[in-house]
Amino acid sequence: MLPVEWVTSLRSGIDRISAGGIRAILLNLYLSDSQGIQTLDKLFSIESHIPIITLSDIGHEEEARLSILHGAQDYLISTHIDIAYLSRAIRNVLERNLVKEDRLLERERAVVTLNSIGDAVISTNIDGNIAYLNKVAERMTGWSHTEAIGQPFTRIFRIIDGVTRQELPSPLDMAIEKNMTVGLSRNTVLIDRDGAEVSIEDSAAPIIDLAGRICGGVIVFHDVSEARAIMHKMSHLAQHDYLTDLPNRLMLSDRLVQSISLARRHNKKLALLFIDLDHFKHINDSLGHLIGDKLLKSVAQRLLTCVRDSDTVSRQGGDEFILLLSEIDQDSDAGSSAAKILASLSEPYCIDEHNLNITLSIGISVFPGDGEDGETLLKNSDAAMYHAKESGRNNFQFFKKDMNELTIEMQSLESSLRLALSRKEFFLHYQPIVNLQTGAITGAEALIRWRHPTRGLLYPKQFIPVAEKSGLIVPIGQWVLHEACRQAKSWQNAGLLPTPVAVNISAAEFRSPDFIAGIRAILAETGLEPRYLEIELTEGVLVQDVELSLARLREIRTMGIHLAIDDFGTGYSSLSRLSQFPIDSLKIDQSFVHDIVSDVSDAAIVSAVIGMGNNLKLRVSAEGVETKKQLAFLQARQCDEGQGLYFSPPIDADAFARLCSTTNSAYLIN
Ligand code: C2E
Ligand code: MG
Ligand code: MG
């Protein structure tokens, strides 16, 4: 039995309710201090949770029904009340309230849940108007729950395709239309109320009511900007070189395929430029990878300034870069680009206080003449680059049909070169260096030869470039130094005129960290005094890294070893620039000497070099002296020394010894 309390005025009723413990209210609409439906309204305004049953007199049925609309749970007409009826009505109301409270609780729990998850949730009614959005959705769309309710879904949830920037259709419409869950398209970007964009991902689904009818839709989404950024970064990494950020091999082949099909369609040509830095390895070996890396980055930057936006500059790894010049009109366009690149990249680089100079070798292949597909074009540009190296580096070469055979030959040469040292296939010839005034032999230049097991006798030009490219030049050079020093000492022991032996040194040897220690060890082992050794270096080797060259030369000079600049005139350095190096002699390249008698400008150059060399107190030597006239020219200009077929070709050690012991000094210059 429920306890019942009676009050007679609205005021006292409100007081009692405020005191708590009331579960249901039986309200007579006609009280001493309030009458009619407003009695209910007043009560309701202070307490809306406790169920109210109104009591009306007969004749006020209309008012009783109105009370339901104003929030009452039920009404009773006073004439119809009996105890059983009353208690049933109250029980009903209480039970209904319990259910309502349960639902409210459930709803509250759902709202809390939806607000706690990381995903944004928006639901709509069947008309496509917003029925609900959770806190994350509020934040992501920029619309508050209260502002958004009742608004069309597409106003709150604006999405575009991040790539095409096209507006996307409402995924909810689609879900409702198809009556199934649909995923958002891959590049969906949500535009919030302020126009800010965020990448999103997720799905939309219809809401089905208990009767199985679609009564709205729900979309769940979340921010994937970070994940998408990571994905972009990863795909960028996969297609770009980590050091220079240039496209890598993978991306180049993609671009190549596209460019070939474009060129084919537009009846145009395209060119591949295979670029390899000359002697880059020495910079890495001598100055360290950090400086090497910085240099590669600068090279990459310069390359980018040499091409159009539509061209692709890629790095293949190491010191190799490949340029794709898309849609050129004629082959010579590629030649002009190559010339421009050669000029731009050979400007000095200042890296961590080192002044570095580099040159490059470029091979060019052109579509469609040199290949119809990317792979062939790449292979042929590589072969052409190899030939640019062979042709003295610092130049570009167009691919020619016979280059591949030559490249293969070079490769096979490299494998036999690896075995040549252990098989003792190398030997040295010596060419006398002659005093042009007295005819006395003042030195011998050691020149390497290779007795190849199948190809016969090979000269340096045929294998030194391969040895340099493969790095084999370092052990080979060590062998030459050792053999030349041993021979010089043995001539001295035999009582022959002690003369210095000159040894040619490649850049890789000179820059190798063990170079100086190697020389010391060889001198100690062979017992040759340092003053009987002369080292020949070309200008290119010295100016590659001036600081390092200077340091090394000073050390060599301090040991008492002589230094000569070989092939002088073929490099790009001026004599004044070379004068900063502690050198003893200059060897004028044979290409100048060859035409001194017939070519006025060669004659002028040689005369000037002799004059300047004398002024700088350098010994000047002329290479490739073949005729009496040349000799006379050089003698007249006070050239100190000469070397060439006119005096003697390079000969073996025994022949050299015989030449020294039998020659009276004037014989050679007459
Ligand atoms: P190089 O140091 O300028 O040597 C002189 C070259 O001129 C030698 O060629 C010699 O045979 C050749 N020659 C001598 N007299 C005359 C002449 O009157 N007319 C003409 N046209 N040529 C003459 P070789 O022996 O074929 O050597 C070529 C180059 O290979 C050398 O040029 C040198 O740079 C390099 N080389 C030779 N031996 C070695 C070596 O042991 N180590 C290194 N790193 N390079 C070497
Ligand atoms: Mg030489
Ligand atoms: Mg020379």
Dihedral over Cα of 111, 116, 119, 120: its sign: positive
Q: Looking at residues 520-526, what average pLDDT do you find?
A: 97
- Hey, whose CA ends up nearest to atom 3 of ligand 1? 567
Q: Would you state the pLDDT for residue 524?
A: 97
Residue of 421, 504, 541, 630 to test ligand 1 pocket, by largest number of atoms within 8 Å of CB: 504
Q: Which of 158, 146, 230, 212 is nearest to 189 (CA)?
A: 158
- Hey, whose CA ends up nearest to atom 17 of ligand 1? 624
- Hey, whose CA ends up nearest to atom 14 of ligand 1? 644
- Hey, whose CA ends up nearest to atom 8 of ligand 1? 447
Average pLDDT, the chain: 89
Six-digit token pair at 266? 């537009």
Six-digit token pair at 119? 């995903």
Q: Would you state the pLDDT for residue 80?
A: 65
Is residue 569 within 6 Å of ligand 1 at its C-beta? no
Is residue 667 within 6 Å of ligand 1 at its C-beta? no
Give 274 Cα–ligand 3 centroid separation in angstroms: 29
Which residue would you say has higher pLDDT here, 626 or 102?
A: 626
Give 587 Cα–ligand 2 centroid separation in angstroms: 8
Q: How far apart are CA 496 and CA 443, in angstroms?
A: 12
Coil, strand or helix: which one is 173? helix
**Choice among 39-53, 464-478, 555-569 with the minimum mean pLDDT:** 39-53
pLDDT > 90 fraction of the chain, expressed in percent and rounded: 55
Q: How far apart are CA 291 and CA 301, in angstroms?
A: 15
Is residue 460 within 6 Å of ligand 1 at its C-beta? yes
Q: Which of 156, 203, 201, 199 is nearest to 175 (CA)?
A: 203
* pLDDT exceeds 80 at position 8: yes
- Hey, whose CA ends up nearest to atom 38 of ligand 1? 447
pLDDT band with cut points at 50, 70 and 90 for residue 182: confident
Q: Looking at residues 103-119, what average pLDDT do you find?
A: 77
Q: Looking at residues 483-500, what average pLDDT do you find?
A: 92
Phi and psi for 449 in degrees, rounded to 5? -135, 155
Q: Are 602 and 595 in contact (CB under 8 A)?
A: yes
Phi and psi for 176 in degrees, rounded to 5? -70, -40
Q: Which of 130, 111, 120, 225 is nearest to 172 (CA)?
A: 130
Give 447 Cα–ligand 1 centroid separation in angstroms: 6
Q: Would you state the pLDDT for residue 209?
A: 83
pLDDT in tens, 55-70: 888 777 888 888 888 8
Q: Which of 475, 496, 484 is nearest to 535 (CA)?
A: 484
E strand residue ranges, 455-495? 456-458
Give 623 Cα–ligand 3 centroid separation in angstroms: 6
Is residue 566 within 6 Å of ligand 1 at its C-beta? yes
Is residue 480 within 6 Å of ligand 1 at its C-beta? yes
Is residue 457 within 6 Å of ligand 1 at its C-beta? no
Q: How far apart are CA 161 and CA 156, in angstroms?
A: 17
Is residue 645 within 6 Å of ligand 1 at its C-beta? yes
Six-digit token pair at 381? 């540009």
* pLDDT exceeds 70 at position 1: no
Q: How far apart are CA 188 and CA 167, in angstroms?
A: 10
Q: Which atom in ligand 1 lies closest to the alpha carbon of residue 459?
A: 26
Q: Would you state the pLDDT for residue 384?
A: 94
E strand residue ranges, 15-144? 25-28, 52-56, 74-77, 120-125, 130-133
Is residue 424 within 6 Å of ligand 1 at its C-beta? no
Q: Which of 85-94, 136-145, 166-175 has the highest mean pLDDT?
A: 136-145
* pLDDT exceeds 80 at position 613: yes
Structural fold of domain 117-229:
Beta-Lactamase (3.30.450)
Q: For every residue of 358-388, which 3-state class applies, written as one string?
A: CCEEEEEEEECCCCCCHHHHHHHHHHHHHHH
Burial status of residue 238 (CB atoms within 10 A of its CB: 0-12, 13-18, 19 or more)? exposed
Omega of the bond leading into 498 within 30 degrees of 0 (cis): no
What is the second-level CATH architecture of the domain 424-669? Alpha-Beta Barrel (3.20)
Q: Looking at residues 176-198, what average pLDDT do you find?
A: 88
- Hey, whose CA ends up nearest to atom 4 of ligand 1? 447
Give 73 Cα–ligand 2 centroid separation in angstroms: 115
- Hey, whose CA ends up nearest to atom 25 of ligand 1? 447
Structural fold of domain 242-401:
Alpha-Beta Plaits (3.30.70)
Is residue 124 within 6 Å of ligand 1 at its C-beta? no
Give 96 Cα–ligand 2 centroid separation in angstroms: 111
pLDDT in tens, 74-87: 888 877 677 777 77
Q: Would you state the pLDDT for residue 573?
A: 60
Q: Would you state the pLDDT for residue 235?
A: 85
The ligand that comes nearest to the alpha carbon of residue 535 is 2
Structure pTM?
0.54
Q: Would you state the pLDDT for residue 367?
A: 95
Q: Looking at residues 174-198, what average pLDDT do you find?
A: 88
Phi and psi for 52 in degrees, rounded to 5? -120, 130
- Hey, whose CA ends up nearest to atom 10 of ligand 1? 650
Is residue 621 within 6 Å of ligand 1 at its C-beta? no
Dihedral over Cα of 595, 600, 602, 607: its sign: positive
- Check residue 166 and report its DSSP letter: P
Q: How far apart are CA 476 and CA 420, in angstroms?
A: 9
pLDDT in tens, 202-234: 788 999 887 888 899 999 999 988 888 888 888
Residue of 509, 565, 623, 646 to test ligand 1 pocket, by largest number of atoms within 8 Å of CB: 623
* pLDDT exceeds 90 at position 157: yes
pLDDT in tens, 571-592: 656 666 777 889 999 999 998 8
- Hey, whose CA ends up nearest to atom 15 of ligand 1? 644
Give 503 Cα–ligand 2 centroid separation in angstroms: 7
pLDDT band with cut points at 50, 70 and 90 for residue 642: very high
pLDDT in tens, 255-268: 999 999 999 999 99
Q: Would you state the pLDDT for residue 668?
A: 79
Beta bridge partners of 427: 449
Which residue would you say has higher pLDDT here, 644 or 58?
A: 644
* pLDDT exceeds 90 at position 44: no
Is residue 607 within 6 Å of ligand 1 at its C-beta? no
Q: Would you state the pLDDT for residue 626?
A: 97
Structural fold of domain 10-113:
Rossmann fold (3.40.50)
Is residue 431 within 6 Å of ligand 1 at its C-beta? yes
Give 465 Cα–ligand 1 centroid separation in angstroms: 13
Q: Looking at residues 159-165, what average pLDDT do you find?
A: 91
Q: Would you state the pLDDT for residue 520?
A: 97
Q: Is 59 left (phi over 0), alpha (psi -120 to 50) or beta?
A: left
Which residue would you say has higher pLDDT here, 303 or 539?
A: 303
Give 502 Cα–ligand 1 centroid separation in angstroms: 11
Q: How far apart are CA 184 and CA 197, in angstroms?
A: 16
Q: How far apart are CA 114 and CA 111, in angstroms?
A: 5
Lookup result for tokens 């100690």: 524
Q: How far apart are CA 605 and CA 574, in angstroms?
A: 12
Which residue would you say has higher pLDDT here, 226 or 381?
A: 381
**Choice among 211-220, 361-370, 496-505, 539-548 with the minimum mean pLDDT:** 539-548
Q: Which atom in ligand 1 lies closest to the alpha carbon of residue 505?
A: 44
Is residue 626 within 6 Å of ligand 1 at its C-beta? yes
Is residue 589 within 6 Å of ligand 1 at its C-beta? no
pLDDT > 70 fraction of the chain, expressed in percent and rounded: 98
Sorted by where each begins, the domain ranges of the chain are 10-113, 117-229, 242-401, 424-669
Phi and psi for 64 in degrees, rounded to 5? -60, -45
Which residues make Cβ contacts (< 8 Å) with residue 360, sequence separation at least 6?
A: 275, 276, 277, 278, 341, 342, 345, 346, 393, 394
Which residue would you say has higher pLDDT here, 328 or 570?
A: 328
pLDDT in tens, 272-298: 999 999 888 878 877 888 999 999 999
